[in-house]
């Protein structure tokens, strides 16, 4: 059976490894692999082949529609008429919505959610050691834990 856990880079992973060694799991059955960080910034715009679920145009479309409607309504009393003011409202709403979304995304530092998995820890153990290892990993601030029995994860076998 394999136990796989993710950790942030901290002293807790060293404490977890030494505690597991004290509980009788040999060092040869423990593997800690650090993950490389992304060096280039994430792309801001989606392409047809790659999308991350964050749309830059949803707010722009809503504000463009609202401003177009207001421009068309008030265009009846303004000099250039409802069509020109509707177009002006749509364009200004699109630009304003896009700029607002762009500022929000830039300020939020897109892709940086605070907690990141930096180290993957794999332990090969027997079935009766699972509860001990799970307790040790959770006590030492593991971000996530899974186990694999005979090549099948328990989460996949429930499907």
pLDDT at 43 over 70: no
Residue 52: predicted pLDDT = 62
CA dihedral 89, 93, 94, 97 (to 10 degrees): 180
Provide mean pLDDT across the span 51-72: 85
Distance of CA 73 to the CA centre of its chain: 42
Whether this prediction's pTM lies above 0.85 is answered by no
Task: Please answer whether residues 75 and 83 qualify as being in contact, where contact means their C-beta atoms are separated by less than 8 angstroms.
Answer: yes
Residue 19 or residue 37, greater confidence: 19
Residue 50: predicted pLDDT = 65
Find the range with the poorest average confidence among 25-39, 92-106, 140-154.
Answer: 140-154
For residue 136, what is the DSSP state?
H
Task: Please answer whether residues 145 and 134 qualify as being in contact, where contact means their C-beta atoms are separated by less than 8 angstroms.
Answer: yes
């Amino acid at each position: 059976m394999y136990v796989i856990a993710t950790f942030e880079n901290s002293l807790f992973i060293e404490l977890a490894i030494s505690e597991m060694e004290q509980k009788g799991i040999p060092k040869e059955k423990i593997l800690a692999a650090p993950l490389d960080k992304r060096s280039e910034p994430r792309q801001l715009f989606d392409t047809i082949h790659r999308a991350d679920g964050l749309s830059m145009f949803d707010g722009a479309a809503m504000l463009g529609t609202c401003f177009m409607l207001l421009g068309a309504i008030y265009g009846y009393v303004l000099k250039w008429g409802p069509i020109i003011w509707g177009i002006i409202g749509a364009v200004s709403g699109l630009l304003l919505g896009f700029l607002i979304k762009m500022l929000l995304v830039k300020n939020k530092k897109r892709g940086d959610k605070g907690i990141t998995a930096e180290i993957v820890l794999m332990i090969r153990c027997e079935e009766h050691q699972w509860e001990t290892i799970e307790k040790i990993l959770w006590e030492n601030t593991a971000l996530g834990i899974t186990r694999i029995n005979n090549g099948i994860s328990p989460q996949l076998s429930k499907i």
